[in-house]
Structure 1
Amino acid sequence: MEFSHDDNNDLPLTKFESMLKTNHVLFFDSEEFENIIHHYLNQGKIALAKKAIKLGLDQHPTSINLRLFKVEIYVFEDKLIEADRLLNELYNLDPMNEEIYIQKANIFSKKDDHEQAIQVLKKALELTDDVVDLYSLIGMEYLFLDQFEEAKDFFMKCLEEDTEDYSALYNIIYCFEFLNQTEEAIEYLNSFLDKNPYCEVAWHQLGIQYYKLKNYKKALAAFDFAIISDDTFVGAYIERGKVLEKLKRFEEAIENYSITLQLDEPTSFALLRIGFCYEKLRNDDLAVQYFYKTVHEDPLLDKGWIAITRYYNRKKNYQKALYYINKAINIDAENVTYWKLYSQINQRLNLFEEAERGFKKTLELGNFELNTWLSRGDLLIKLGEPEAAVSNFEQALDFYPENAEIEYRLAGLNFSLNETDKGIFHLKNGLRYNEEYTFIIDELFPEVANKILVKNLLKTNQ
């Protein structure tokens, strides 16, 4: 049994802790020691559990259950040889004890021999009527092996034995999801709900499956039933809010997210979603209030800082936008979208070196969109770094080998650097690929556009 300091069943525990303080040895029967050890293990108080095991074995040296607790500690501490040795002794004493098989399976599992662990656990099944925990352990071992069909079967057996074993239900859905069996998950959940119509967790999971299929009407109905089954189910209100957003019913979505703030501690997710809903309703003042509440609740949520950044960017308050985009980047410096936004804001503030740095970082992170290459190159031209611009556009050609916009830029740059042959080569390429982009020469390289050689090449092609 589990002890609690809030009831009258904790006398052995109180007596034991008193004994530890006074060093005055008191007698406990073996079952009391088992309950004390179980309590400490559940509380994660390993040192106290070990003390209880030692004292328990001093008083009851032949107790198999107390020695099994010692095995459990050995396994926890990765002392697998000692655990195995003790288990073999216990097996010789009591070969029909299913707990011996369970601990043996734990050792195999620790050694990543999950198939052997499964075989041992299946033997344990033959020795007990209390099968739920064993089904769950076998299911977990199959998960370790990525054998999701087999894992799913055993978690289903758990749920058949105990319809309130929600961890088994979540594991079943996890298996369906990994196997991309959304339709099968829906069929299973509907079948389960036919027998257990007030299971809020099952309704919630059913709604999530319908949401994945973009069947928002059925998803909404499922979340409604989850809330009917438990009107304090925060997760159901959150998911219902997401569905209502998809249906563009933003006022109702706000209502659902707001309920979660009353039922539990405010979450940054709900606050952010409320902000986005107000944004969709074009109520910018309330939107930004909730974005600020979001980052107050979770200062490390980069999405909150980005929402504020975009708000000030829309309002053309670029100084504030820059301040907040820097906060987002400090949290997630590997996000390409953030660096692109950082560059755009810096460009609007005429901070061209910072803007170029942002586009360079974007490229380093693997974003090779044409516009990124063009924007960075044009900034390098503006900053008076033609050689770096040439290098940028030559790399861009590897990704966009017959692109007129790149060729005209390389033509202008090479003519500017007195690399006439290269200039002619790239200009001819540009004209061959698309004549309509010749204005790039006029806009970015007006001095080059006035060169007689360039004028003649352009005329020849008209």
Structure 2
Amino acid sequence: MQNEDIVAAIETKLTAVGVQDVVEPEEVRPAAFLSKDRKAIIDLEEELQKSLDTLKTDERLPRLLFGLANLHLKEANFSRAIVLYEVTLGMSSRQVNAWLNMGTAYLLAGEAKDAVSCFSSALAIEPDNARGLTKLATAQLEMNDLESCLSSLERALEIDSTLLKAMVVKGRYFAKKGDLTGATTWFNKALRIDPMFLPALTELGQIYVSNGRYDSAAEVLDRALRIDPEHPYALALLGDTFFARRDYEKALSFYDRALNVKFDDPHLWIKKADSHRMLRSYKEAVAAYEKAINANPENAEAWSKCGQVLVLSNEVPAALEYFNTALALFPDSADTAHQRGLVYYSLGKLEEALADFDLAFSSEPGNPVHLYYRGLVLEKLNRKPEAKRTWQIAASLYREAGDSTKAAECSARMKRMS
């Protein structure tokens, strides 16, 4: 195919698959099914890659690469999208939407600092771009830069007082500060303008779930699903609602529906695995945790939780390997260190258990459970003075936590060793 024909063919296929100039985060979903036109773009893009040097003077190329980048972003192929945005911006650096979409790609890939840089580049071209200011505020919120976030939002709403996305991000800002009333106010403000605005519905549902208002959450999330039956965030939140109510079978049904849309989301796989664990279907739980690990091999939570289920399945050597990996990824995890300490304790490896309970307590010094087991290990090692001092501190922490039963048990163990 001639070079000029490649450009024209890709333009036609991009139009056919419906690529837009603006890609919003809620539109980003992995492609579970490729249409005939989308499959054709795969081959055409390979041909284009080979012909890029000879096409550099083609005025259509920056726009074409921008369209391809948007397609990859919408399909959650962030690395490929970012490469294409960088190439097209290298050819024409004043493409505001390219900067904004590349920032969105970085943000969804967990690189908020790079996202801020992209959004700032867009705003250097169009300082009064309210949408750009809102995206910048979103990235600043992810970085916990609340002061800058608020400043960006106030500027965005000054430019466009009816910008729904800015209202939702302002609600998220208040939620981050722990002001759930303020958050709810801003989400409802957006919904008064557009009762079908999905980001506001899902964020409001999240507030209700976290606040234990499960009936209100179900009502709001049902509204969201009537608008978009495959909205993964709404489906996952409904799963969380049923999980909190201990209806694990129902929770699984919603997590499965969410995974049909976002099959590469490790957090969804963990939620599914947690439900199987509560149902004591350990084989299925391990399989789901493994899916989470495959989706993100650096997810320490998935490694640790899989280790815990392997312990329940009496697969102790395998469990230790999972705990070791989890702690290599996240050395300060008190929960993982404690769980590995319990395994070592059950195996009679007391020095290793002691080291893990010490590690757990150093990461979580307000939790007396770590000291309780530290005392048990020291007692078995016949290190009585250290054990008594450990029981004493544990008893004090239990009393502060209002657990008089455990405090009394620690005191009894101290007296028994006197």
Q: TM-score, normalised by structure 2?
A: 0.60
Q: Deviations over 1:132-159 (max 9, x none)?
A: 4576599689986816655444444566
Q: Counterpart of 1:290?
A: 288
> What displacement does 1:223 show?
1.1
- Segment drifting more, 292-301 vs 215-224: 292-301
Offset at 1:217?
0.8
Match of 2:416 in 1: 439
Q: Deviations over 1:119-144 (max 9, x none)?
A: x99xx76xxxxx64576599689986
Which residue in the other structure is 1:7 paired with?
Answer: 11
Matches within 5 A, 1:405-416: none
Question: C-alpha separation between the residues in 2 aligned to 1:39 and 1:278?
Answer: 41
| Residues 285-320 of structure 1: CA deviation (Å, up to 9, x unaligned) | 433443344334443333233333333433455444
Shift, 1:206, TM fit: 1.6
The answer to whether structure 1 residue 223 and structure 2 residue 224 are counterparts is: no
Provide the C-alpha distance between the structure 1 equivalents of 2:339 and 2:371, rounded to a whole number of angstroms.
15
Matched positions, count: 330
SS in 1 for 2:288: helix
Work out the CA distance in 1 between the residues paired with 2:13 and 2:312. 63
Deviation of the 1:199 alpha carbon: 1.9
2: CA distance between counterparts of 1:141 and 1:291? 29
Percent of residue pairs bearing the same amino acid type? 14
CA RMSD of aligned residues (A): 4.9
Q: Partner amino acid for 2:11?
A: D
In structure 1, the partner of 2:343 is: 345
Aligned to 1:182: 180
1:237 aligned onto 2:235? yes
Larger deviation, residues 213-222 vs 186-195: 186-195
Of 199-208 and 268-277, deviating more is: 268-277
What is the distance in 1 between the residues matched to 2:227 and 2:173?
A: 25
Secondary structure (helix, strand or coil) at the match of 1:218 reads helix
Highest RCO, 1 vs 2 (Cα 8 Å, sep ≥ 6): 2
Look up the equivalent residue of 1:235 and give its one-letter code.
Answer: Y
Q: One-letter code of the match for 1:227?
A: L
Residues 299-314 of structure 1 aligned to structure 2 (within 5 Å):
299-314=297-312
Aligned in 2, Cα 1:7/1:169: closer, same or farther, shift over 3 Å? farther
5+ unaligned residues in a row in structure 2: which ranges?
1-6, 15-49, 70-81, 100-116, 398-409
Partners of 1:271 and 1:264 in 2: CA distance:
10
**2:252 equivalent among 251, 254, 266:** 254
Aligned partner of 1:198 in structure 2 is 196
Distance 1:260 1:147 in 2: 33
Q: Which has the larger radius of gyration?
A: 1
Tell which deviates more after alignment, 334-343 or 169-178.
Answer: 169-178
Please tell me whether the aligned partners of residues 133 and 153 of structure 2 are also in contact (alpha carbons under 8 angstroms): no
Q: Is the contact between residue 336 and residue 367 of structure 1 (CA under 8 Å) also seen in structure 2?
A: no
Deviation, structure 1 residue 256: 0.8
* TM-score using structure 1 length: 0.55
Unaligned segments of structure 1, at least 5 residues: 11-16, 54-65, 74-105, 111-116, 126-130, 404-432, 442-462
Q: Quick one: structure 1 residues 4 and 342, their matched pair in 2 at CA, closer, same or farther if it must change by over 3 Å?
A: farther
3-state secondary structure, aligned to 2:417:
helix
Higher mean displacement: 359-368 or 330-339: 359-368
Structure 1 CA distance for aligned equivalents of residues 220 and 226 of structure 2: 10
- Within 1, Cα distance between the matches of 2:290 and 2:65? 48
Q: Distance in 2 between matches of 1:370 and 1:339?
A: 14
Task: Please state whether the residue corresponding to 2:308 is helix, strand or coil.
Answer: helix
Question: Is the 8 Å Cα contact of residues 202 and 224 (structure 2) preserved in structure 1?
Answer: yes
TM-superposed CA distance for 1:335, in Å, is: 1.1
Q: For the structure 1 residues 363 and 249, does the alpha-carbon distance in structure 2 shift closer, same or farther, using more than 3 Å as the test?
A: closer
Residue pair 1:155, 1:169 contacting (<8 A) in 2 also: no
Question: Residue 171 of structure 2 contacts residue 183 of structure 2 at CA under 8 Å; is this kept in 1?
Answer: yes
Q: How many Å apart are 1:336 and its aligned residue?
A: 1.4
Among residues 350, 354, 366, which one is paired with 1:356 in the alignment? Answer: 354
Residue identity opposite 1:330 in structure 2: A
The 1-side partners of 2:65 and 2:260 are apart by 39
